[in-house]
Amino acid sequence: MIQEIIEIEKPDLITKVRDMKNAGYRLATICALKDLTLRYSFVKDEKQVTLKYPADGPEPVESVSGLYSYAFMYENEIRDLFGINIINMNLDFNGHFYETAVKVPFRAAESKVKDGE
């Protein structure tokens, strides 16, 4: 399988995801990393393309669920576990997709490391 990673700028997310859909790619997954980078992975035939998107900062991230309806599952999970503000999801659980003992546990764990706990 051929793999390609493309770093994109914040204003380009929806345009790039639309380009992938129009080119016949299916959304395989969206994942968040500890540095609050989102990775949108797409697959077509024997090629995987990953869009690397910086979600750090106060600006909300626009949902891609208008293009790939099932993206709401990934997006709600990312909001609940990482605290990344994803807006305009086609199905928004408002922070209750997962019920966890610690609110946004992956960001809370990162805070403890920084604070020396």
- Give the sign of the dihedral formed by CA 73, CA 10, CA 53, CA 56: negative
pLDDT confidence of 22, banded at 50, 70, 90?
very high
User: DSSP 3-state assignment of 87?
Assistant: strand
Give the per-residue pLDDT at 112. Answer: 47
Q: What are phi and psi of 65, to 5 degrees?
A: -70, -15
- For the CA atoms of 79, 72, 67, 2, the dihedral, rounded to the nearest 10 degrees, stands at 80
pLDDT (tens digit per residue) in 37-78:
999 999 999 999 999 999 988 889 999 999 999 999 999 999
CB atoms within 10 A of CB 61: 21
* pTM score, whole prediction: 0.86
Token pair listed for 90? 């086609």
Pairwise CA distance, residues 37 & 25, whole Å = 21
Res 93: pLDDT: 77
